């Protein structure tokens, strides 16, 4: 029986990326080349989740491929959001981006491409592509081409 959040491996979390085969090039290529301008299915985070894919882990994956941005007129959080928006063609990064509801809405208006692949433009935790299962649904329904998620969730989904 699968229980979301229960982990079977030696590490608390094993984070993976799954890529739609149709975007893979015929020859060896860099991650940047393969993923730039694709559509990201991001699991998002929920304000009250006990075990969401943390911003730290998602940020680590993003830091491997997305060039750093440092606009002195933007906050660190907005610099990261802007960098993701500039790297990917579109995404579904549903759920809160920041704790403040008004600031969250402002950022979503400013970077609408990060909600462009969501089933609902409101881009909330109620989106069908939000969360570990939603992210995989986003990928297999061709709403997106790449996703971040936990290995246990991916194995269960495709298992």
Per-residue pLDDT tens for 21-67? Answer: 999 999 999 988 999 999 999 988 765 554 555 667 777 778 888 88
- The alpha helices in 38-130, defined as continuous H runs, are 55-65, 76-87, 101-110
Plot region of 95 (φ>0 → left; ψ -120 to 50 → alpha; else → beta): left
In angstroms, the CA 150 to CA 125 distance is 18
In angstroms, the CA 11 to CA 28 distance is 30
Of the listed ranges 5-9, 55-59, 64-68, 77-81, the one predicted with least confidence: 5-9
CATH topology of domain 15-158: D-Maltodextrin-Binding Protein; domain 2 (3.40.190)
In angstroms, the CA 75 to CA 144 distance is 28
Confidence of residue 1 (pLDDT cuts 50, 70, 90): very low
């Amino acid at each position: 029986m699968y229980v979301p959040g229960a982990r079977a491996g030696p590490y608390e979390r094993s984070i993976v990326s799954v890529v739609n085969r149709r975007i893979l090039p015929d020859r060896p290529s860099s991650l940047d080349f393969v993923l730039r301008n694709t559509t990201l299915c991001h699991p998002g985070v929920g304000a009250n989740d006990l075990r969401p894919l943390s911003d730290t882990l998602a940020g680590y994956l993003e830091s491997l491929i997305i060039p750093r941005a440092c606009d002195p007129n933007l906050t660190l959080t907005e610099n990261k959001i802007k960098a993701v928006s500039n790297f990917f063609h579109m995404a579904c990064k549903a759920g809160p981006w920041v704790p403040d509801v008004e600031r969250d809405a402002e950022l979503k208006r400013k970077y609408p491409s990060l909600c462009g692949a969501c089933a609902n433009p409101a881009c909330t935790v109620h989106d069908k592509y939000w969360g570990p299962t939603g992210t995989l649904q986003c990928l297999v329904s061709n709403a997106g081409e790449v996703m971040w998620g936990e290995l246990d969730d991916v194995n269960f989904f495709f298992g």
